[in-house]
Chains A and B, each alone.
Chain A
């Protein structure tokens, strides 16, 4: 059974770098059948796609965040990670990792999600 679990600091200082890791169990992140994505949700607000990565390391990002975001794979640990630099209070949100199956009928759907990790940006 596929499961995803986010981990990382719950508090980040303004101007510093937010770092989160998603541990995947039940399927290899080197599978060609999946992208792996990060989505966030500020308190009381809508979901926002941050970016996704493929087994090859190919990435795509939300244009509004692209200049501050890095997503990378750690294949021996079956993990993928997010780094968001120069954070401000506007980056306070629940951060989710999720699987995005490949396929013409999949409609960029995220079918399995982690439970989410709350990250607060504050001094």
Chain B
């Protein structure tokens, strides 16, 4: 099991705002990043660090952190946002990179 815990599945109504969370003790010390992965595609970095978006990523995506939890918020969810979302950071030793178990987002 991963040191970063994500809810397996989350749903959101079209146009509404959704928050996807990632929990782990290491997140008290290390920054995290978020990826979107659609079926058959490589992951796409959407948020890194405190709240940084790579070029080309919609400003509907934002990140936040509190204690041992980091969150990815998608404002005004669109059909094209339906995907798996993964967080990543360091493990509790700080020596290894870890990924969360992923959250499948369904846009209703």
Footprint of B on A, CB under 8 Å? 37, 39, 46-49, 52, 60-63, 96, 105-111, 113-116
Contacts and interface: CB of A to CB of B under 8 A. Distances in A.
A89 B6 CA distance: 26
Contact of B49 (A47, A52, A105): A105
Counting chain B residues whose Cβ lies within 8 A of the other chain, the interface size class is: 20 to 34
A78 B93 CA distance: 32
A42 B28 CA distance: 29
A46 B2 contact: yes
B26 to A, nearest CB: 11
B54 A111 contact: yes
B88 A46 contact: no
Contacts, number: 72
B71 interface: no
B24 interface: no
A110 B45 contact: yes
Contact of B43 (A61, A62, A108, A113): A113
Closest 5 CB pairs of A and B: A107-B31, A109-B48, A109-B33, A113-B42, A49-B97
Contacts of B31: 105, 107-108
A49 B99 contact: yes
B38 interface: no
A52 B97 contact: yes
Given A108-B88, A108-B89, A46 B100 contact: yes
Given A107-B48, A111-B54, A49 B88 contact: yes
B99 A48 contact: yes
30 contacts: A39-B99, A46-B2, A46-B99, A47-B35, A47-B99, A48-B99, A49-B96, A49-B99, A61-B96, A63-B95, A63-B96, A105-B50, A105-B52, A106-B48, A107-B30, A107-B31, A107-B32, A107-B49, A108-B30, A108-B31, A108-B33, A108-B88, A108-B97, A109-B33, A109-B49, A109-B88, A110-B45, A113-B43, A113-B44, A116-B42
Contacts of B52: 105
